[in-house]
A and B are shown apart, each in its own frame.
Chain A
Amino acid sequence: MNDPPVPPVLSARGLVREERGRAKTGWTLGPLDLEVAAGECLALVGPNGAGKTTLLRCLAGLRTPSRGVVAHRGRNFAELSRRELARRIAYVPQVRPANVPLTVREAVELGRYPHLSPFQLAPSAADHRAVDHALAAAGIEAFAERPLDELSGGERQMAWIAAALAQEAEVLILDEPTTHLDPRHQRDVAGLLHRLHRENGATVLLATHDLDLAGLLGDRVLALRSGRIVSLGPPREVLAADSLAALFDAPFRAEPEGRAARLSLAP
């Protein structure tokens, strides 16, 4: 599992992204190299401000690298239009917008945007199939006709994931998909991602602060700190007590085999 036999779906070479903050002098992501294999699930962990979101945005083509190359199956992002990129990579941002005057189905339908022509008056039969399929995969057909703003945070998150699924992209990137959700909805989201990855062979990248989720879903876990990759490997190594303690500057104690180490609350 550590040596993917297929060529990487996503690759970054010498990726650097300089962010100019307003108050601070700015900070830099990278330089870093990364390869994600087809059908792999890569989980990103790291302290707040480590650059997880910036890295995911670069890998989704939403931010242009200051230096280096990001590519999908060997095609440099710089050669692809936003639309072409969206047919390859779907992204679910961390911030879920409020006051969106759409129903769930309308929001999911808009996931078809990269496949729609501007001269098309209505979505095609294929679009409708993709939308129905995405709603079913997320298990949210029951409230498909309800306005997004009437839903709970967890239901809304499922809707936005379904909208990304309707995009029918090869890679699904999610930024903290379970943050701010109650345990049941965390489980729903985790279950959906697990099914997509294990049963449908989807390539999934996610950033999360839920270390158990990272261990459960991730084939590999990437630990990021101050814009650099600290470690990248199987969960049992990256999520071991000593590596997590170094990553987060906090005491962690070991858990039984197959579980992420746990934050130690006792002094």
Chain B
Amino acid sequence: MRPLRPRSALALLGLLWLAVALGAPLLGSQPIGLSDVLRGDPTALAIFWQLRLPRVLLALLAGGALATAGLGFQTLFRNPLAEPYTLGVAGGAALGAVLALRVSEGLGALGLPLVALASFAGALGATALVAGVAMHRKESETGTLLLAGIGVSLSTSALILFVQYLADATQTFRMVRWMMGGLSVVGYREVLWLLPWTLLGLAALLAARWDLNLLLAGEEIAASRGVDVPRLRLRILIATSLMIGALVAVAGPIGFVGLMVPHALRRLVGHDHLILAPACLLGGGAFLALADLAARTVMAPADLPVGVLTALLGGPFFLLLLAVRRGRG
């Protein structure tokens, strides 16, 4: 009974993922019918294949990457509030990307690689900083970690504001819009770009599934069972930071998906990372694609950045987790 349940839940998530991948492109400010697409109606085809499918696919990947990274951070630091956004990793990537946007004006085709490289550097830098500060002070890593994350987030926000102040009005508008975290201007290029990094992150978590499961019992137990904890940390942090860097480069910082999705899925599929990591990839993707669907329909024809929506949901969720956790002692 027990081993069957998480697996069937994972299969259901897979079905949900497929349903969203096929269904979400049909919906929007102007709904199109599946029959129109199948019949080959040129307008429907163009909307489906060129406008909506790449955006839905990117949402599926981005949400999956965010949730998977959140899971990695939460297990690694044994902290339910850890995720790329709260730890400042997304902020670091955003700072890198904004700097690149500032200087990349007129670089054309070089734009994405430059922004991406800068995001990677920002994400890795922020992770190293937060992890370094948290590990330097041994006692109560939990609190120190979040405080370090807040420190990095505040610093990157301030630096981003500074860069924006220096930029001209058009650039500033682009940056502000991008900082909200959105999936609006997207083609297949971004999807293909994000795919390998997301799979890399998932593979890193799956390969370390026993290690991560053991880490649930604390570092000392894990180490005494044979886990090389510092090396495991390094591996997972690099893989997840690359995943977040790649994501922020194309979609901006999208908050709280990495917080909410792993928590919800733990209740559904349990704590084994063999099941939980792919569940996060599927569930996070479906969640963000649905959130993006809501973001582009609730105020149609206006196109709300999905990052605004996830932040609106995520803030209260964060407070709720904090309250529940404190309540338990």
Query: Which secondary structure dominates chain B's binding surface?
Result: helix
With A102-B271, A107-B217: A116-B210 Cβ-Cβ less than 8 Å: yes
CB-CB < 8 A to B271: which residues of A? Answer: 101-102
With A110-B210, A118-B207: A97-B221 Cβ-Cβ less than 8 Å: yes
Please name the residue on chain B nearest to A92 by beta carbon.
B224
Please name the residue on chain A nearest to B2 by beta carbon.
A145
**A167 engages B225 (CB within 8 Å):** yes
Please name the residue on chain B nearest to A173 by beta carbon.
B224
CB-CB < 8 A to A86: which residues of B? Answer: 224-226
Question: For residues 113 through 135 of chain A, which have their beta carbon under 8 Å from a beta carbon of chain B?
Answer: 113-114, 116, 118, 121
Q: Identify which of A85, A93, A101, A118 contacts B216 (C-beta below 8 A).
A: A101
Chain A proximity mask over B259-278: 1 for CB below 8 Å, otherwise 0: 00000001000010010000
With A101-B271, A102-B271: A114-B226 Cβ-Cβ less than 8 Å: yes
CB-CB < 8 A to B211: which residues of A? Answer: 113
A-B contact number at CB 8 A: 68
Question: For residues 51 through 108 of chain B, which have their beta carbon under 8 Å from a beta carbon of chain A?
Answer: none
Flag whether A1 is at the interface (Cβ < 8 A).
no
Flag whether B220 is at the interface (Cβ < 8 A).
yes
Interface centre among B138, B211, B213, B217 (most CB of A within 10 A): B217
On chain A, which size bracket covers the interface?
20 to 34
CA separation between A97 and B211, bound complex, in Å? Answer: 16
Chain A proximity mask over B163-180: 1 for CB below 8 Å, otherwise 0: 000000000000000000
Q: Identify which of A81, A90, A110, A121 contacts B214 (C-beta below 8 A).
A: A110
Shortest A94–chain B CB gap in Å is 9
17 residue pairs of the A-B complex, CB under 8 angstroms, read: A62-B223, A82-B223, A82-B227, A82-B228, A83-B228, A90-B224, A91-B224, A92-B224, A95-B220, A97-B217, A97-B220, A102-B271, A110-B210, A113-B226, A114-B225, A114-B226, A160-B221
Interface set of A (CB-CB < 8 Å, partner B): 22, 60, 62, 81-87, 90-93, 95, 97, 99-102, 106-107, 110-111, 113-114, 116, 118, 121, 160, 163-164, 167
